[in-house]
Amino acid sequence: MANYNREGASSKNRSIILRSTMLLASSLAALVAAGPAFAQEEAGANSGGLDEILVTARKRAESLQDTPIAISAFSGDSLEKQQINSVAGLDKVVPNLVVSETAPIGGSSAAASFFIRGIGQTDFNQNTEPGVGIYVDGVYIARSVGSALQLVDLEKIEVLRGPQGTLFGRNTIGGAISLTTKKPSSEAGGYATATVGSDLLLQFKGSVDAPITDKILTKVTFLAKSRNGYVTRVVDDKDLGNENKFAIRGDLRLLPTDNLTIDASVERMHERENGAPLTLISVYEDAPFAAYNNYVLNGAECGSMPSPASPNCYNSQWLSGRSKDNGTGRAVSDMDVLGTTLTINWDVPSPILGSDVAVKSISAYRKLDSYFAADHDHSPLVIDHTANDYKQRQYSQEVQVTGSSKRLNWAAGVYYFRETGTDANIVDFAVGSLLSGGSIRNRSLAFFGQATFNVTDKLSVTGGIRHTQENKRFTPNQYYITDFVADANTTLAAGSPQVLPGAVGRLKVNEENYLANISYKVTRDVMIYANYSDGFKSGGFTQRLAGPPFISPPSFRPEYVNVYEAGVKSELFDRRVRLNLAGFQTDYKDIQLNVLAPGLPNPFTLNAAKARIRGFEGELNARIAQNWDLNAAIGYLDAKYRSASGTLILDTVAGEIPVGTGLVNVNSSFVNAPKWTASAGVSYTAETDIGTIVPRIDWSYKSGVYLDALNTPQLHQSGYSLWNAAISYTDSSRLWTLSAGMKNVFDKRYLVAGYADVGASGFVEGVYNRGREWQLELRRSF
């Protein structure tokens, strides 16, 4: 058992960022110039200002502008207007956020990866943890498989940037994304929509509120979506990247007394899809597995270098562009999710404490079953095929107690999490087949507390602490299915010896995380703040093993961040302008890197680096005139490795194997950490005698980024801009809405995910975006 306690921008990029910065500056200048006009309006005109946004980042409802940390918050309706219908679209409006809804290593189209301020995780493996926490109605979603959520009937989304170690806990070192669904209404009603669009998109979604009495409220929400893929397999015309989803959620709200609320929900998600739209980018026919196919299995035909364009040779003949694929192996992405949540809120008057006290209990269970497979060599040959039978169960219980008074706001609680899972990962290489899987059993217990003391009406100080105890266990189930050629002199027999001989890996962690914050109200509408927070991402085990049998699973420690942040939150011109700014520095250590071992086909995870990340974010929302709305955001990252070194000794029956940091060094770029992100949008609301017409235009930009830690040249995506346009019409009765939208108007194609196995199988593969999309939607409210 182990115990652990603790590219410079191109001229083109600069030009684009200069334009976005000028947009922010010119917008502010225009608003400042318009200030006297605003001031001349009567006091009651505040109804024309921006709506107040309430957030719960500190376990209590408070205004976004009164919360002294970096948060982006959106209502579900505002995201719909911006054509954002899944979590994968959030990075088009949130600065320093990168999201991909594909796991290229396994081929699942339901496994999202999230990076905030350069910190995240691309691997879906059950023995690795995400760096950004995903929460739905306060419930932590532990695995990346199943986290590519559709946004249906949401009340709001909050994106918290920076570590949330005290109130949210482990695995939030980059930040947290919190989704809050709409609860049942006391009035009967609802809506239904029908949508058609490009690639034969057909979608139906809706929600129905059906109160039984004024004390018993119910709600049903549903989504059904189908869409053709955009990568076609030559051999069988299977369309990769298709969508075939169904989801339904039932909500029950009980109001037995005026100060007691009980919310219960059950949801099911069902997906049957053809797999991620992976395509082949490069082939290295001198890599060991490719060479084994060419020189050993088909030496007479493929023995020359380069090998000929023969059906039995693995080489560049199988490259087929972004819309075709020559694979013949299994390609599938199926998923079933069952989730239940019970939330109890009890407001307790407390004369003794001199404050209002609320007790909240969140009990949740989630069951995930998924099967996904991919042909990574993208050819009719068997060089590298994978399949995962992936199952996970999680139960969590959280109890929060919060209190508020004029001088003191506080929150305390306890959190318990239990998780079990299995991943039967079948891998077919040219040199043989193996089962590379096992089971996990993880438990975590945490106690937390945070308090804000209002020293004066303007000055507030906050402190927080969280203690976490975590136990993780990995039981391998790994053996060779066929004879496996380990090297020129060694062939491992099928069945025995095992890759891992049943040795159980164990990790135990005890950690404390802290927060310190000071905020000052310069004026009623302008606040400045400084914040310190830290956090950790759990350690784990390397699951994907091949080669000489191992004595025990290689493990890695947690990684840690310490973040220093300062910011300004302001509302100007009678709440017509909201401008929030934040700057930060992250000290990042014990970074979990995927590294390479000489002669072995699989990467290992090793704590082998330290880094420093600096940056800033700015967000602007404005109601320029009575009918014009503007939003803009900009983010900057300067992420640098301070050191990248370390050696891990792997114990195998063949002896000790040293593993180093491979190709990662202090000059390497971070994965999914673009130097610049920016976005802007403008809409106009025209009220007419026949109804309301709202046209809208949105723009987003992301500078160049590497999609893997090894900085594979083929997996570098240059900077790009995207333009979206939409228009909607709502009749005068407010019952019918017809909308039309187009995303990626100029049909920009770019890489969103990728994986390189140059040293063993000899390929680089990637996922490109879908391209230009259009849709028409009809909505009926009732």
Amino acid at 725: A
Q: What is the pLDDT of residue 12?
A: 43
Q: Does pLDDT of 493 surpass 50?
A: yes
Q: What is the pLDDT of residue 596?
A: 60
Q: Does pLDDT of 252 surpass 80?
A: yes
Its sign, for the CA torsion 319, 324, 325, 328, is negative
Compute the average pLDDT of residues 766-782.
96
C-beta separation of 288 from 196 below 8 A = no
Q: Sheet holding 231-233: strands in order across? A: 239-240, 231-233, 324-325
C-beta separation of 95 from 103 below 8 A = no
Taking the C-alpha atoms of residue 154 and residue 79, their distance in angstroms, rounded to an integer, is 9
pTM equals 0.91
Q: What is the pLDDT of residue 486?
A: 78
DSSP annotation of 297 reads: I
What is the share, in percent, of the chain residues with pLDDT greater than 90?
74
Q: What is the pLDDT of residue 32?
A: 38
Q: What is the pLDDT of residue 38?
A: 35
Coil, helix or strand at residue 721: strand
Q: What is the pLDDT of residues 341-362, one digit of tens each?
A: 999 999 987 766 556 899 999 9
Nearest to 482 by CA among 434, 530, 542: 434
Q: What is the pLDDT of residue 605?
A: 80
Q: What is the pLDDT of residue 437?
A: 85
Q: Any idea which of 318-327, 421-430, 656-665, 687-696 has the lowest mean pLDDT?
A: 656-665
Q: What is the pLDDT of residues 386-433, one digit of tens each?
A: 999 999 999 999 999 999 888 999 999 999 999 999 999 999 999 999
Q: How many CA atoms lie within 13 A of 355 on its CB side?
A: 16
What is the share, in percent, of the chain residues with pLDDT greater than 70?
88
Q: What is the pLDDT of residue 501?
A: 66
Coil, helix or strand at residue 709: coil
Q: Indicate the pLDDT class of residue 709, thresholds 50, 70 and 90.
A: confident
Compute the average pLDDT of residues 488-497.
78
Q: Does pLDDT of 226 surpass 90?
A: yes
C-beta separation of 33 from 25 below 8 A = no
Taking the C-alpha atoms of residue 694 and residue 684, their distance in angstroms, rounded to an integer, is 6
Taking the C-alpha atoms of residue 566 and residue 96, their distance in angstroms, rounded to an integer, is 16
Q: What is the pLDDT of residue 34?
A: 40
Residue 627 region, left (φ>0) first, then alpha (ψ -120 to 50), else beta? alpha
Residues paired with 576 in a beta bridge: none
Nearest to 597 by CA among 641, 640, 646, 537: 646
Compute the average pLDDT of residues 632-640.
97
| Secondary structure in 3-state letters for 654-708 | CEEEEECCCCCCCCCCCECCCCEEEEEEEEECEEECCEEEEEEEEEEEECCEECC
Q: Does pLDDT of 582 surpass 50?
A: yes
Task: Share the mean pLDDT of the chain.
Answer: 89
DSSP annotation of 145 reads: B
Instruction: Choose the most confident range, by mean pLDDT, from 147-151, 708-712, 765-769.
Output: 765-769
C-beta separation of 303 from 293 below 8 A = no
Its sign, for the CA torsion 282, 284, 285, 290, is negative
Q: How far is CA 706 from CA 136, 719, 753, 767, in A?
A: 30, 11, 9, 13
Question: Which stretch of DSSP H or E encloses residue 605?
Answer: strand 603-607
Q: What is the pLDDT of residue 503?
A: 78
| Secondary structure in 3-state letters for 715-761 | HEECCEEEEEEEEEEEECCCCEEEEEEEECCCCCCCEEEEEEECCCC
Q: Does pLDDT of 496 surpass 70?
A: no
The Cβ of residue 351 has, within 10 Å, a number of other Cβ atoms equal to 6
Q: Report the alpha-carbon angle 332-294-238, nearest 5.
A: 20
Q: What is the pLDDT of residue 23?
A: 42
Nearest to 88 by CA among 745, 743, 591: 743
Q: Indicate the pLDDT class of residue 33, thresholds 50, 70 and 90.
A: very low
Q: Any idea which of 5-14, 520-529, 642-651 has the lowest mean pLDDT?
A: 5-14
Coil, helix or strand at residue 61: coil
Q: Any idea which of 41-55, 116-130, 323-337 has the lowest mean pLDDT?
A: 41-55
Q: Does pLDDT of 45 surpass 60?
A: no
Q: What is the pLDDT of residue 502?
A: 66
Q: Which residue has the higher pLDDT, 304 or 350?
A: 304
Q: Does pLDDT of 94 surpass 90?
A: yes
